[in-house]
Each structure stands twice: as C-alpha cells, then as structure tokens.
Copies of this chain bind each other. A is one copy, B any other.
Amino acid sequence: MDSVSGVGVLDKAVHMLGALRREGSLGLADLQRATGLPRATAHRLAVALEEHGLVRRDGNGRFCLGFELIALGHAAAESFPIGELARPVLVALRDSTGESVQLFVREGDERRCVVSLQSPHGLRWIVPEGARLPLDAGSAGRVLLARSTSDWVESDWVESVEEREPGVASVSSAVRGRDGAVLAAVSVSGPIERLTRGPGKRFGRAVADAADTLAKTLAATA
C-alpha cells in the first residue's frame, strides 16, 4: 500500500501496473490494498487499462498485466539500436566466458539492464531485462558514471566484488561513441566461486574486446 507519487490518472495507472508486476495477479480488493486507491477508482482504472490491453483478467477474473505489454516491450527493445546490435556480440561473450552477460545503459541516476543473457551453468546470476539498478554500486555502475573521455583512461575494464549483491562479482567495460561519451556498459557477472575475487584478470580482456567490437559496430552503422 505504498503511496502514489503523482496525482494524475497516468501516475495511478503506472502505479497500478507496477503493483500488478510485483504481485502477479490481484482481485479488486487486493488491487485496492496494493495501490491505496478507493474501490471505485481502482476498478474504473483497471477496466480502462483492460480496454487498452494493458491489463487482462486471468481465468479467475483477477486482474493481471495484459498482452499488449508484451508487444510494447518487444517494440521498445527493437527501437533501441545499440541493444539490437549488441545481441550477437553479447552471445559470443557469454559463450566464450560461460557466464551471464548484460548490457546496461544510464537512465537518470540509475542504470537499466537492456539486454541480459544467462550463463549455461546451474548456478548463475540473473539480471532481468528491463531491470533498474543503482548507479553507485557494481562495476557496470561505475563504468556508466564515467562521463567524459578523460575519466577512467587507466584501464579498459572495471571489476567489482560483492559490491551490490553478496556472492556476486562482475567485470564491466564501456561502450564509447565517436566523441568518447559512454553509451553503454557491457558486463559479465556471476558467483565469486567461479569469477574469483579478481575477476578482471580472467575476463577483463574479453569484456573490453566485446565492448570495443560493439563500439566499432555502432560507428560503422551510424
């Protein structure tokens, strides 16, 4: 029942979608509790969203996220050229390292996982595509904090160990545009047991190369 940030319909609608994302599926009363909205308002909103396919009802008549969101999600991913171009490069990186790899972009003072590929190992570290993570923790976060060319010239990659999540280590490298601005961060992450406490030593080169390949691909396309 966390309070709604804004006051407009749109804020409420997004808040409701967020509640449904967290909780999976909710009856009207649950929706009411989860959003803090009055019954009538919650119902009206849910029905309005349903008409647009952003919300649907499951077999029991409970509200849950609608299929239109699947279509929009795909379109959103496709309309991000770096993400599309990165996929083959990231697949190669995952296959060569055997670990989960991600592509992050900066969004305000956070970072967003735009592409996520999972390690084939049984024990793996997964970051959901679309997830929003803090900028001030994790190797990818530090890479994205470097704004200009002058920063971080010392190394091609950055490593972090248990910085954001216990037991998880990662190595990241910047994808830079023509002008040296950091466009995105390529990241390899997994359990410390496999990555060790100095993951850069083993994977730094591969990650930096992947980031570089991606940067070149981008330059060639644009």
Binding site for B on A (CB under 8 A): 8-11, 13-14, 17, 20-21, 24-25, 45, 48-49, 52-54, 56, 64-77, 79-80, 105, 107, 112, 114, 128-132
Contact = CB atoms under 8 A, between A and B. Distances in A.
Contact of A129 (B17, B70, B107): B70
Instruction: Determine how many copies of this chain the complex contains.
Output: 2
B72 A130 contact: yes
A107 B73 contact: no
A11 B49 CA distance: 9
Given A10-B52, A54-B14, A70 B77 contact: yes
B74 A128 contact: yes
Nearest to A13: B10
25 contacts: A8-B9, A10-B45, A10-B49, A11-B52, A17-B72, A20-B79, A21-B79, A53-B107, A56-B107, A64-B79, A66-B76, A67-B76, A67-B132, A69-B73, A70-B76, A70-B114, A70-B129, A70-B130, A71-B131, A71-B132, A72-B72, A72-B73, A73-B73, A74-B128, A74-B130
A113 to B, nearest CB: 9
Nearest to A181: B59
Closest CB pairs A-B (n = 5): A73-B73, A71-B130, A70-B130, A65-B76, A69-B76
A11 B127 CA distance: 32
A21 B67 CA distance: 15
Contacts of A128: 71, 74
Nearest to A72: B69
A181 to B, nearest CB: 9
B9 A67 contact: no
B10 A79 contact: no
Contact of A73 (B56, B64, B76): B76
Contact of A10 (B48, B72, B129): B48
